[in-house]
Amino acid sequence: MTAVLSVDGLETSFPVGSRRVAVVDGVSFQVAAGEVLALVGESGCGKSVTALSTLRLIPKPGHIDRGTISLNGRNLLELSVGDMRRVRGREAAMIFQEPMTSLNPVQTVGSQVAEAIRLHERTSAGDARRRSIELFDRVRIPDPDVRFDSFPHEMSGGLKQRVMIAMALALHPKLLIADEPTTALDVTIQAQILELLRELQREFDTAILLITHDLGVVNELADRIAVMYAGRIVEEGTREEILTHARHPYTRGLLRSIPSLARRGQRLEEIAGVVPPPRDWPAGCRFCTRCSEVLPRCESELPDARNFSSTHSARCFAIPESAS
C-alpha cells in the first residue's frame, strides 16, 4: 500500500509566555488509500493541531517549524498559498465537530455545496445544483431537492453533519480529515453517521484521518490507531493491537478508565493527576509525571519507539522485553 498522506517529523509551536513551545513535537504517521487512521488522545494532546497542520490551517501565532507533509507525493509545506487552496477541497477535505460553525448561516446549505463544486470545477450553476442534490441523496438527506434550499438553522445537527460530509466528498478527495465528526451528536444520530462514513469510505476508497477522544468511535471506524499524549505519538498499531494488546502504560490506563457497558460494579481505574500544561512538559517521557511504572531514567531520557510487530510500536522504557 502506498501512503496517500505521509507526515514526517511534524513540529508545530505556539508562543507560551516569552518562548515558543512545540505542542506537536515530532509526529510522524502515514495513511494509505482506503485506510482509516485514528489519532486519539485527551484534550490538549495535540491531535487537533496535528490535523490542522496537515492542511496548513494553523492560525497565527501558531507555526509549523519542521517536518514534511506529503500528500500524493507532494510536500504541502512547499506549496504557494494559491496552490494550497486548490489542494483543500479537491485533494483533501475536512469535517469538524460542530457543523453549525462550519456552515454560513445566511446562505442555503445547497448553495454552499454547489459553490464548493464551482470553486474547483468549471461547470454551470444548474449542473452544480444537480450534483449537490445527488450528493444530498447519497448522504441520505431526506427530500434532497427541498433540503437544497434550507438554511442551516432549519436543520438538525445530524443533517448539518450530513451536509458537511456531502460538501467534503463533492470532489472525491483522496484524503478526508474528520475531527471529532460525531462528538456533538446524540448516540442514535452518531450511529447513523458512523454507518454513512463507513459506506462512503468503501465506495470512494478515501484515506481518512480520524481525530477523536472516543475509543468506541475509533473501534467502529479505524483500521489503525495512533495514541497521542502531550504532543507526541506514544503508541501505534492496528485496531486490535491497541484495543486488546496495548503496551504503553498511558494507553492501557486510558482503556481501563472507560466505564464500559460490559464492566458493572468494578472500580474504574484512574490515571492519577492531570495532563501537565505544555510549559511544564518533562524533558524525558512526558507521561512520567502520571505513570505508575515510572523508572528513574524516564524523567530525563526520551524513549525511542520499540517495535512489537511490523505494525505495533510504543515509546516506553518500562515495557518488559519478553512479555507478549
Which residues bind to other proteins, rule: CB under 8 A? 42-43, 142, 156, 158-159, 186-192, 194-195, 213-220, 239-240, 243-244, 253-255, 257-264, 267-271, 274-275
CA angle 215, 212, 55 (to 5 degrees): 150
CB 233 within 8 Å of CB 227: yes
**In the complex, what is the shortest distance from the CB of residue 99 to other proteins, in angstroms, rounded to a whole number?**
14
Residue 304, class by beta-carbon neighbours within 10 Å (0-12 exposed, 13-18 middle, 19+ buried)? exposed
175/185 with CB nearer other proteins: 185
122/264 with CB nearer other proteins: 264
**In the complex, what is the shortest distance from the CB of residue 272 to other proteins, in angstroms, rounded to a whole number?**
8
**In the complex, what is the shortest distance from the CB of residue 210 to other proteins, in angstroms, rounded to a whole number?**
13
**Pairwise CA distance, residues 306 & 309, whole Å:** 9
**In the complex, what is the shortest distance from the CB of residue 229 to other proteins, in angstroms, rounded to a whole number?**
11
How would you list the strands of the sheet with 3-16, edge to edge? 19-32, 3-16, 63-71, 74-75
**In the complex, what is the shortest distance from the CB of residue 285 to other proteins, in angstroms, rounded to a whole number?**
17
Dihedral class, residue 230 (left if φ above 0, else alpha if ψ from -120 to 50, else beta): left
8/214 with CB nearer other proteins: 214
29/287 with CB nearer other proteins: 287
**In the complex, what is the shortest distance from the CB of residue 259 to other proteins, in angstroms, rounded to a whole number?**
4
**In the complex, what is the shortest distance from the CB of residue 190 to other proteins, in angstroms, rounded to a whole number?**
7
**In the complex, what is the shortest distance from the CB of residue 166 to other proteins, in angstroms, rounded to a whole number?**
17
**In the complex, what is the shortest distance from the CB of residue 280 to other proteins, in angstroms, rounded to a whole number?**
12
* Cα dihedral: 237, 202, 159, 177 (round 10): 40
CB 181 within 8 Å of CB 153: no
Write the DSSP assignment of 275-291 as a string of letters: PPPGGG--SS-TTTTT-
107/260 with CB nearer other proteins: 260
76/287 with CB nearer other proteins: 287
CA angle 255, 188, 237 (to 5 degrees): 30
Residue 150 grid cell? 434550507
16/125 with CB nearer other proteins: 16
Beta-sheet pairing, 207-212 with 175-179: parallel
127/137 with CB nearer other proteins: 137
Residues 6+ apart with CB under 8 A from 61: 14, 15
In angstroms, the Cα distances linking 37 to 125, 156, 213 are: 36, 28, 13
92/215 with CB nearer other proteins: 215
**Pairwise CA distance, residues 140 & 167, whole Å:** 13
**Pairwise CA distance, residues 80 & 309, whole Å:** 39
